[in-house]
Amino acid sequence: MPLYAITIEYDGAPFVGWQRQDTGLSVQQVLEEAAAALLLPGEAPPEVVAAGRTDAGVHAAGQVVQVALARDLTPAKLCEALNHHARPHPVAAIRAALAPEGWHARFGAVHRGYRYRILNRRARPVLDGGRVWHIRHPLDAAAMHAAAQGLLGRHDFSAFRAAACQAKSPLRTLDRLDVARIGAEVVVTAEARSFLHHQVRNLVGTLAEVGLGRRPVSWPRAVLEGRDRAKAGQTAPAEGLCFEFVRYDPEPGWA
Amino acid sequence: MPLYAITIEYDGAPFVGWQRQDTGLSVQQVLEEAAAALLLPGEAPPEVVAAGRTDAGVHAAGQVVQVALARDLTPAKLCEALNHHARPHPVAAIRAALAPEGWHARFGAVHRGYRYRILNRRARPVLDGGRVWHIRHPLDAAAMHAAAQGLLGRHDFSAFRAAACQAKSPLRTLDRLDVARIGAEVVVTAEARSFLHHQVRNLVGTLAEVGLGRRPVSWPRAVLEGRDRAKAGQTAPAEGLCFEFVRYDPEPGWA
């Protein structure tokens, strides 16, 4: 049965998150119901597995998922069909590929990238409403960036991990954590093989304390070393976070 | 009476355009009603004048307007007050200044910049819905850029001018018309001292014909020289257009 890899974009606002839940509509449910419209007679309901199980309200520009379907479809036809059946929900299949032998959307991912956008001005967001965290007081992005560099590398990230995190180990290797000001925006770019639950949002909430001048540049590193979630900053709001990309080795042969 | 300069952001979708009309809500009406809440007793209703009278559905990230008010307010207080009274409409005052002597938001503008975003992929827009023109067939952005360079300089732009255009002369000097691909987007950047009605959208619609391979790179220049609106491409949809900035000489002392 062919296994398809699909790159997905979604607006997180109307969903309870990636994963199916009894409490409301998930992105997974939208995609599984769209894929179910493509089944052959007698074929079991499809399971759609994602590279990253994003939280309620978190957006994706480059989530990657897999689904096995008996039907033999070109990548373009598969995207068209999923997009047709996913309507009117804000979920789109933007490219697809036949997955390489042994490929897995979640366990095969070797690198994940997130972007967190803060709108840093007094006026509320208009054009970027629902896509940014609005912080009215001026942020020192250079101080945030300097503080972020102290968190790179392989560490026990317990201080930045949600209580509900299901990962067996709190050890993660943070490869990139850049903070840059672009006009009125402060953009945080985070990359790692994998992240703990809420890790990016907890890192951003902690760096924001430095940006606001409430804590010194050395503080996030001290929080990391303390391994105590209660000592870190707030969990930054979901709406500023976007799951940007996933890399694999080997990469699917995207059409 | 102090004259204030104010930089304004708005989502064009819910409005009939910048200018007041009987057919529905305009950005001008929202701002004039917000400013009216700041009048002193006996003061006449304020008129808000904009650098550019954007059409229905066109967005602005950096529109500039002026309003004269008897009340003496700091720029920050003025923005706060306008933003308070503009709610819940998607209009925000992002910065303000006391206007220099003789300054005028419209007639004093020496340079205007627009950005037109095309989402060029098969899947419909999700994260950028309402902010882009969706073109499913692949565009040759390099060919569009090459064609655009033939339109720079001072010309009679009658071929790209709306029938309803009220400008006395069709002569305009186009200083910049760049087309660049950024991932799945094709972005057109247009700059001039001033533009004719629908000029940017007509230029984009014409360049898109080149991008789609329906017309040669030399065609937009031939259309320009023919001065016949009926020979140009379609008016590109309003939702892809954003009024990005205005420059003045002298510039207001933005806070």
| CATH number of the domain residue A154 falls in | 3.30.70.660
Report the distance separating Cα B248 and Cα B202, nearest Å.
26
Query: What is the nearest CA distance from B70 to chain A, expressed in angstroms?
Result: 23
Contact B126 A92 (CB under 8 A): yes
* CA A141 to chain CA centroid, nearest Å: 22
Query: What is the nearest CA distance from B213 to chain A, expressed in angstroms?
Result: 21
Report the distance separating Cα A161 and Cα A196, nearest Å.
6
Claim to verify: residue A128 and residue A103 sit in the same structural domain? no
Q: Which of A50, A76, A107 is the last residue of a domain?
A: A107
CATH of the domain at A40: 3.30.70.580
Per the prediction, chain A carries an average pLDDT of: 97
* Tokens found for residue A129: 């409403």
Q: How many CB atoms lie within 10 A of CB B73?
A: 17
Closest by CA position to B240, among listed B166, B179, B153:
B179
Claim to verify: residue B102 and residue B121 sit in the same structural domain? no
**Pairing of β A3-10 and β A59-68:** antiparallel
pLDDT at A194: 97
Query: What is the nearest CA distance from A213 to chain B, expressed in angstroms?
Result: 21
User: Would you say residue B255 has pLDDT above 80?
Assistant: no
Claim to verify: residue B150 and residue B74 sit in the same structural domain? no
Claim to verify: residue B192 and residue B141 sit in the same structural domain? yes
Task: For residue B93, list chain A residues with Cβ-Cβ distance below 8 A.
Answer: 123
Claim to verify: residue A171 and residue A197 sit in the same structural domain? yes
**Total domain count for chain B?**
2
Q: Which of B65, B83, B107 is the last residue of a domain?
A: B107
Residue B50's domain spans which residues? 3-107
Average pLDDT over residues B155-180: 95
Report the distance separating Cα B16 and Cα B23, nearest Å.
7
Task: Identify the residue among B95, B127, B242 best suited for mutation to test binding to A, counting A beta carbons within 10 A and taking the highest.
Answer: B127
Q: What is the per-residue burial (b if ≥16 Cβ within 10 Å, else e) of A41-76?
A: eeeeebebbbbbbbbbbbbbbbbbbbbbbeeebebe
pLDDT along chain A (255 residues), means of 10: 96 98 97 97 96 97 97 95 97 96 96 98 96 98 98 98 91 98 97 97 98 98 96 96 96 89
Q: Which of B107, B129, B148 is the last residue of a domain?
A: B107
Claim to verify: residue A160 and residue A103 sit in the same structural domain? no
Q: Which residue of B has its CA nearest to A84?
A: B123
* Residue B130 touches partner A, C-beta closer than 8 Å: no
User: Would you say residue B50 has pLDDT above 90?
Assistant: yes
Claim to verify: residue B161 and residue B235 sit in the same structural domain? yes
Share of chain B above pLDDT 90, in %: 98
**Residue B254 included in any domain:** no
Report the distance separating Cα A106 and Cα B185, nearest Å.
28
Claim to verify: residue A100 and residue A199 sit in the same structural domain? no
Claim to verify: residue A61 and residue A184 sit in the same structural domain? no
Instruction: Give pLDDT tens digits for B178-231.
Output: 999 999 999 999 999 999 999 999 999 999 999 999 999 999 999 999 999 999
Instruction: Give pLDDT tens digits for A75-104.
Output: 999 999 999 999 999 999 999 999 999 999
pTM: 0.95
Task: For residue B10, list chain A residues with Cβ-Cβ distance below 8 A.
Answer: 126-127
- Catalytic residue check, B22: no
Kindly provide the residue ranges of all beta strands, DSSP E only, lying in B11-162, ordered along the sequence.
49-50, 59-68, 91-98, 109-119, 133-134, 153-156
Contact B126 A83 (CB under 8 A): no
